[in-house]
Amino acid sequence: MGAAGCPLAFPAFTWEVRANDRGYHRQFKKKFAFCLSKRKYSGNAIRTAKYNLLTFLPLNLYEQFHRMANVYFVFVILLQTFPEISTLPWYTLLFPLSCLLIIRGLRDLIDDIGRHQSDRNINSRPCEILAGTSFHWQKWRDICVGDIVRLRKDSVVPADLLLLRSSEPSSLCYVETADIDGETNLKFRQALLVTHQELGSEESMAAFDGRVTCEEPNSRMHTFTGTLRWQGRTHALDIDRLLLRGCRVRNTALCYGLVLYAGFDSKIMRNCGKIKRKKTKLDHMMDRLVVVIFLVLLLTSLGLAVASGFWARTFQEKHSYLAALYKHTTPAQQAFLNFWGFTILLSIIIPMSMYITLEFIYLLNSCFINWDLEMYYGAKDMPAEARSTSLSDQLGQVEYIFSDKTGTLTQNIMSFKKCCINGTIYGPGTGHENKQPPGSGLSWEHPGEQKLDVCDVALLEAAQRDDDPVLREFLRLLALCHTVMVEDRGDQLVYQAASPDEEALVLAAKNLGYVFLARTQDTITIRELGSTRTYEVLAMLDFNSDRKRMSVLVRDPQGTIRLYTKGADTVILDRLRRRGPNETLTERALDRFAEETLRTLCVASREVSEAEFRAWSRRHREATVLLQDRARELDRLYEEMEQNLQLLGATAIEDKLQDGVPETIQLLKLGNIKVWVLTGDKQETAVNIGYACRLLTDDMEILEEKEVSEILQLYWESNNNLSGSGDALCSRHLSQQRPEAPCHQRAIIISGDFLDKILHTGEVLKEKKGWPWRWLCCDRAEASQDQGGLVEKAFVELATSCQAMICCRVTPKQKALMVQLVKKHKKAVTLAIGDGANDVNMIKTADIGVGISGLEGLQAVQCSDYALAQFSFLQRLLLVHGRWNYLRICKFLRYFFYKTFAGLLGQVWFAFHSGFTAQPLYEGWFLALYNIFYTAYPVLSVGLLEQDVSAKKSLEFPELYTVGQQDELFNYRVFGVTLLHGVGTSLISFYVAFWAFEDRVGTKAVGDYESFSVTVALSALLSVLVEIVLDTKYWTVLSFLMVTASLLLYCLFSFLTQSVDAFRIAPAIFRFPDASWNALTDPYVLLVVLLSLVVNTLPSLTVHAFRATLGRATTQQKIHLKAKRDPEPSVELRSHVPRGSFHRRSSYAFSHQEGYAGLITRGDSLRARATAGTAPGALRPEETPAVSSLSCPSV
């Protein structure tokens, strides 16, 4: 390969990086908008904030005026500037609109300041950059493409680097990629041999002039292709040579890298996505309603204006003696002015106060979430936090949850839970795991070591007795058969494994007296019950995903050769010498462990004769130097050796879930919320967690990539359109494949690679030979794009028809793509929840983003709308707060519109009796105060405090959540009914008073315009308040005070604005002196008001009575009826698995990764002893003690 200096042929890549040459990179520009250009090679500073000092005001106003209501209010203000048609000074409307814009602008500004602070902290992190012939401490933002950077242990990689050299043997560098793919196990990267050998000092680093030619910046996290040309030779580069931004250096004192991609060109930043302004479904609906109401308003004004023109002409014809009054205007001109007058008069149908009140309701409902002690996590002293105040109602409408796995569903902590040795089961549930053995002197413990943690005291006692050879071999296998690295820190041993499962097994052996101490290239040393023994490692038969097992051949101190093997039960059981009673008991134990969703594997061994080993070793050496079919030949030799095994037992490891995860997922599923798991982890690990958290169940039909391909193929063959639903599509396919299997419970499990094939114009379908696939692959770009869209939609239809979905090995960008697909094709409300930087894009893309404050930092929390400490708090956030908030906002909107229509449409009816002159029916002060004081508080109490059922009942009956998913409480039909209700109330209030005042007057000769106005106003006001009182389900002292305050404020302001003294001071402003006193002291007027109230209330009472007797059951009735039925079974982490089913899961084979055994046997990962030569001192400013074990400082 490239290390040998052979010239290689690669595609013509256009991204060229020259080491230590900033001037070369600065000369290149690229266009990005119109004729503007910027540097081709980005700097390393990042900016995720939306605004700066110059762009905040215009950009924020631009975003705010995407709300149609704000455009409408500006239009009304502009009309008010014309004195001929104005009814109020223009500044009286500009002030509340300005307040509304300022409130929302300040909220956006505060959020953006937080993003600026986060950017500043990241860009100011220190790092060492090569400048001249030495390294200097600078900031991350100072890094440029082509720079050489020095990183130390536990530091975060600041950009995408080509690894040049490290302080480890063979320039290995160990990294943790938790912020990229969620995995906390160790991975290794290795520098090219040529740079490892040649770049041994800072001077050689400064003189390095290599040129890297590679692919343009992209979002592919797991692939990279490029070449390094140096000293006349070309060397191949792949992803194993790269340190990606966001990784953390582990186990490596020093490493050096060449910056290939910086800042927004780095792969993790390419996956981060942009900040999007999120609007709820109700927001979108309100925008459309504003347009509809405005059009209705214009049509009404037009009709009244036309009528006013005809009325004016008729009036002038009948009353010619008044011609002097109309000599400067014509009926048409008067109609034109009246049109705008009616438009302004009726503009309060969309009240600005509603939007201001909504902001207040959103704010307080968010505070209720922050104050909820049930979502407070005492262990971290972290309450729930509503970081966004404008999405609370949408929490009650979620249909799909997209969840990360590691750190979100799980704690990523593996613990050795149970085991079966020689047919005997040990662990919790055996009845003696909590007892302390009498006089148990643990002679193998050493001062300073951690306190032992064993799963079963009986197992500890048996290990101490050392009288069971099978148990001895079992524990010896756990201590020998692995690729774990160890560091002896004097007072304790620190292990670092390629997977957390392996570490759990080695720790279990250590706690039971078999302590892994050290290893060299060909030996491994353990302490067995206090005595130290060194074994010669003859061969390591490494794990891969096909073998599903690993083995080690060792020679013990007595000279006996033994093979120790561990792996999946399906492969180990088939390679046993015999099947006896103990093997049968072990198989039963495996079934039992699988029922408890533990991660199982089998362990076995056999003795190998010296002659057999010599013959096998000779063929093994020959196979390792083959140029062709090397891997196949090695696998054949491994298979030959791993036969005739003796089963020692089985282990069961628990991947600890966060508290309450299974119960939470069960409740969410009952609430018709589908949970999809999107993880960067391996498929088998994710599937195991799926079963553990009850996302997957044993009666589900699992659709893997092959089945999904077949179903999509069937879709194309049967019908070349999307007339069939995904449910019908899947049902038809599965009924053909497995007629006996129920199809109503399904789950899909796919990988990120498969997802790429499907979503990039259906490449998975192109592999088929039939005509549909060839047609899909036509050269026409437009047709290809259209068909790719159809494949997308077909896939989404299939996925959403299933009860669960697990996507494994997905990149952050693919996570966001899955969310975007569901939003695009299903128009459903989505929620994304995660805890790491790899979840940020998904959180930004979803309608609602929830960040978990986990072990991977606070990147997800900083970009989220809501922050929680535990996944289990999601049930209360959605099923309680979300449902309540949706109910409250919907009721608020419904009653705000109702009270507006009921109170103010009287203006329209009055126009028919006032010559269509746009004469106001009500006093100006009543119009101004109606939505602010007289009716605002009862509706506000509904928006803040309303509950249909308690929090406890909301969790007991999650089915109630479906109301929000179906938009039942506020939609176009509900708005139409509200409009008709308001029109009816206004008609009754107006015409009952009009009828009463038409023929006679009261005892005080009350029959004037002012008294009529007061009567209609009071009738409408009381009808609105009674309607709200009747429909309020949850009464508090505050609710009662709100209603009382409305009536008292009406009386107070009527007295103040209608006093004779005020009239004398400003007769043009206070035009109704003593109007209310004169009218309301007349019993006849009071009877008219009472009659209007009764007539307005009767329809509502009738509807309530009809629903109670014959109509739909109320929420409380549904709960009562369901409570009588059998209660829902509690969630148990057990599943009855048939023997040989898909559902038995092997932890080791499904979570370990290939590669470490080769490093160990080659000696690449082993540091030389003190007598051996080391790397040049110029690269080692901090000497690291040489040890004979693996070089692995703790994480």
Q: Annotated catalytic sites, by residue?
A: 404
Place of tokens 């005492």: 378
Q: Is residue 1034 exposed (0-12), middle (13-18) or buried (19+ Cβ within 10 Å)?
A: middle
Distance (Å, whole) CA 541 – CA 637 = 9
Distance (Å, whole) CA 42 – CA 874 = 39
Ranges of H-type helices in 455-579: 457-465, 469-480, 500-511, 569-572
Q: Nearest CA to 763 among 733, 787, 783, 781?
A: 787
Ranges of H-type helices in 81-223: 90-123, 178-181, 193-198, 202-207
Residue 158 near residue 125 (C-beta atoms within 8 A): yes
Ranges of H-type helices in 257-280: 267-270
Q: What is the secondary structure of 1024-1041 as a DSSP string? A: HHHHHHHH--S--HHHHH
Find the radius of gyration of the CA atoms of the chain. 38
What 3 state SS string does 639-652 have? Answer: HHHCCCEEEEEEEE
Distance (Å, whole) CA 286 – CA 278 = 14
Count, residues in the chain:
1195
Q: What is the secondary structure of 1154-1171 as a DSSP string? A: TTHHHHHHHTTTBPPPTT
Distance (Å, whole) CA 676 – CA 90 = 52
Identify residue 1124 by its one-letter amino acid code: K
Q: Is residue 983 exposed (0-12), middle (13-18) or buried (19+ Cβ within 10 Å)?
A: middle
| Encoded tokens for 128 | 């060492």
Q: Is 300 helix (H, G, I), strand (E, B) or coil?
A: helix
| Encoded tokens for 238 | 């792949």
Residue 664 near residue 871 (C-beta atoms within 8 A): yes
Task: Tell me the sheet residues that pair with 403.
Answer: 677, 833
Provide the strand spans (E) within 1072-1153. none
Distance (Å, whole) CA 589 – CA 725 = 43
What 3 state SS string does 353-369 have? Answer: HHHHHHHHHHHHHHHHH
Distance (Å, whole) CA 898 – CA 977 = 9
- Which is it for strands 674-678 and 148-152: parallel, antiparallel or unpaired? unpaired
Cβ contacts of 129 within 8 Å, gap of 6 or more: 135, 136, 138, 142, 143, 147, 148, 149, 150
- Which is it for strands 829-834 and 848-852: parallel, antiparallel or unpaired? parallel
Inter-axis angle of helices 752-759 and 705-718, nearest 10? 20
573, 578, 582, 585 alpha-carbon torsion, rounded to 10°:
40
Distance (Å, whole) CA 305 – CA 299 = 10
623, 627, 633, 635 alpha-carbon torsion, rounded to 10°:
100
**Cβ–Cβ contacts within 10 Å for residue 591, how many?**
19
Inter-axis angle of helices 500-511 and 469-480, nearest 10? 140
DSSP state of 341: H
| Encoded tokens for 297 | 């308003």
- Which is it for strands 148-152 and 126-131: parallel, antiparallel or unpaired? antiparallel
Q: Is residue 25 exposed (0-12), middle (13-18) or buried (19+ Cβ within 10 Å)?
A: buried
